[in-house]
Amino acid sequence: MINGAIPLYPKRWTRHPTRQFYYATRREMLCKGPLGVRDQAMLPERSTNNITQQGDGRNPALVTILLDGYRYDYLEKAKELDLTGFGAILDNGVKADYLIPTYPTESYPNYYSLMTGLYCESHGMIGNYMYDEIHNTSFLIGTNPEQNASYFWDDGDPLWITAKRQGLKSVMHYWPGCEVEIRGLRPDYCAPYNGVPNKTMMEIAIDRTVEELSNGVAYAGIYYEASDKKGHIYGPDSPVILNVTREVDDLLLQLHNKLEDNNLIDSTNIMIFSDHGMVAIDPLQRVLNVSVNMENIERSFKSSIYSQIWPKENMTSKVYDELIALKDTLGHFNVYLKADLPERWHLKNHYRVAPIVLLPDEGYIIQLPDAKVNTNLGGHGYDNNVRDMRATFIISGPGVKKKSTHKAISAVELYQLMCHILNIDASPHNGTWANVKGMLTQASGAHTFLFCNTMTLTMIIWTTMEFLYHYL
């Protein structure tokens, strides 16, 4: 994908409809979003996936289960357990080797990349804590009402909003953001997140999900947080994580059995995925006391792993130089100016990204002055190339290969697959269909072939318009 802002069309072309179509098509093909609703109206209509109905006449439905912080190898670590629920899903589906989270490897950025197919610089959810300079407000998870302001969310088009716009019903349980009005829409039902959902709450969510699927709901999302919470407190190598896997397995078995009891198992796709992994940390031995002079700093979000700093006016160079000196002394962390953030992170091109970002090496934590002391034994937010930041992905259902494995995929690939399953048009995204189509049976792949041919035709039109633009 090509990065950087892509103009919709030059001002001198604004009244020429053919040239407007050229630039709208060009921007979608390059997929550097986000496109607004006004822009999307200018795009050529996409072909549908034409997923066939099941024998009972139902269109395939989709249930997504987000296991927060469930590392890619947690299931392998529990292989000695009798995991009937996971087994039922895996027998009818595909497990990826791992899922690569977007950077930063925090929760909200990846919640949104998973559900929009966009990198963070495109959907704008650039951290669990954010400052919006345009609105002069902060996004502080769990502590301020401003986090539900639409402007923090409107840069992306999450699946439940894409589905709603195209006439499909959705129900969400405890899913962060489901209570927010996004691009003027909300899901049909949202049980908002109000703290870590316990097992009883999860069982209620599964019962309601199956009930709503029976009533014609197309998409249901369920959020599970205990895997992240306990990974932080006890560390990813604790026996407590095995108990988490047992609990998830019980919930999956409950879902599978209820789908069978209601004759929905053959018309329901299930996706299980996580937002990031978890690194074991020692909060006593690997602490970097980055004692920068806070008098020169306007604001900061003092995460012990992904730290963001806004220097006072005309102080950026001074603060940066001081941090570089501390880095040379302490080692084990990097200091980035916004413009120097690695391209592969797809992060630096959004206005909410701080002028200076700090990132420690794997297993180390940063202690800024006056910041809360980190006592956790597990953490995330490290470079998404770190092995233990890898997440989990499993899919099962009609049209999906059985008892199969797949190469690693990126978090931005899932949205297009969800839209394909629901037979709806995806909004512009950063995914690549070739990276996921191998999970589907040959019959399902045929619909992708139609889509690819349509895109090939669009490329021909695009090239012709490029010629006309330069030579007419």
Q: Which long-range contacts (CB under 8 A, 24 or more apart) does 238-245 make?
A: 238/377, 241/74, 241/77, 242/77, 242/78, 242/81, 244/70, 244/74, 245/74, 245/75, 245/77, 245/78, 245/81, 245/83
State pTM to two decimals. 0.84
Q: Which long-range contacts (CB under 8 A, 24 or more apart) does 203-206 make?
A: 203/251, 203/254, 205/173, 205/174, 206/251, 206/254, 206/255, 206/258
Instruction: Tell me if 381 sits within 8 A of 365, measured CB to CB.
Output: no
Question: pLDDT (tens digit, 9 = 90+) per residue, 164-204?
Answer: 999 999 999 999 999 999 999 999 999 999 999 999 999 99
The whole-angstrom separation of Cα 111 and Cα 106 is 9
- Phi and psi at residue 59, to the nearest 5°: -80, 145
Instruction: Tell me if 346 sits within 8 A of 122, measured CB to CB.
Output: yes
Tokens of 365: 């934590």
Q: What is the pLDDT of residue 449?
A: 34
Instruction: Tell me if 394 sits within 8 A of 95, measured CB to CB.
Output: yes
Q: How far apart are the first and last CA of the chain?
A: 28
Burial class (CB in 10 A: 0-12, 13-18, 19+), 334: middle
> Considering 47, 107, 300, 303, which one is annotated as catalytic?
107
Tokens of 11: 């001002």
The whole-angstrom separation of Cα 470 and Cα 450 is 31
Q: What is the pLDDT of residue 462?
A: 44
CA 288 to chain centroid, in Å, comes to 29
Domains and CATH numbers, the chain: 11-45+448-471 (no CATH), 61-280+386-440 (3.40.720.10), 287-375 (3.30.1360.180)
Beta 333-337 vs 356-360: how paired, if at all? antiparallel
Q: What is the pLDDT of residue 463?
A: 44
Instruction: Tell me if 379 sits within 8 A of 359, measured CB to CB.
Output: no
Closest CA to 32 of 346, 467, 340: 346
The whole-angstrom separation of Cα 115 and Cα 417 is 10
Question: Is the torsion defined by CA of 455, 457, 461, 464 positive or negative?
Answer: positive
The whole-angstrom separation of Cα 409 and Cα 432 is 10
- Phi and psi at residue 414, to the nearest 5°: -75, -35
How confident is the chain (472 residues) per 10-residue block, as mean pLDDT? 32 34 38 35 34 53 98 96 97 97 98 98 97 96 88 98 98 97 98 94 98 98 98 98 98 98 97 98 94 96 93 98 98 98 98 98 95 94 98 96 98 98 97 97 46 40 45 44
CA 272 to chain centroid, in Å, comes to 13
Instruction: Tell me if 360 sits within 8 A of 325, measured CB to CB.
Output: no
Instruction: Tell me if 108 sits within 8 A of 101, measured CB to CB.
Output: no
Going from the C-alpha of 397 to that of each of 62, 91, 98, 202, 430, the distances in angstroms are 9, 10, 19, 21, 24
Beta 268-273 vs 393-396: how paired, if at all? antiparallel
Count Cβ atoms below 10 Å from residue 327 Cβ, excluding itself: 16
Tokens of 232: 């932080």
The whole-angstrom separation of Cα 66 and Cα 403 is 21
Q: What is the pLDDT of residue 356?
A: 98
Instruction: Tell me if 251 sits within 8 A of 203, measured CB to CB.
Output: yes
Q: What is the pLDDT of residue 125?
A: 98
Three-state SS at 317:
helix
Q: What is the pLDDT of residue 112?
A: 98
Which residue in the block uniquely carries the two structure tokens 């703290």? 195
- Phi and psi at residue 264, to the nearest 5°: -110, -5
Tokens of 81: 């357990």
Closest CA to 458 of 27, 13, 33: 27
Task: Give 331-381 as a DSSP string.
Answer: -SEEEEEGGGS-GGG--TTSTTS-SEEEEEPTT-EEE-TTPPPP--SEE--
Query: Is 138 a catalytic site residue?
Result: no
CA 409 to chain centroid, in Å, comes to 12
Q: What is the pLDDT of residue 59?
A: 78
Q: What is the pLDDT of residue 442?
A: 64
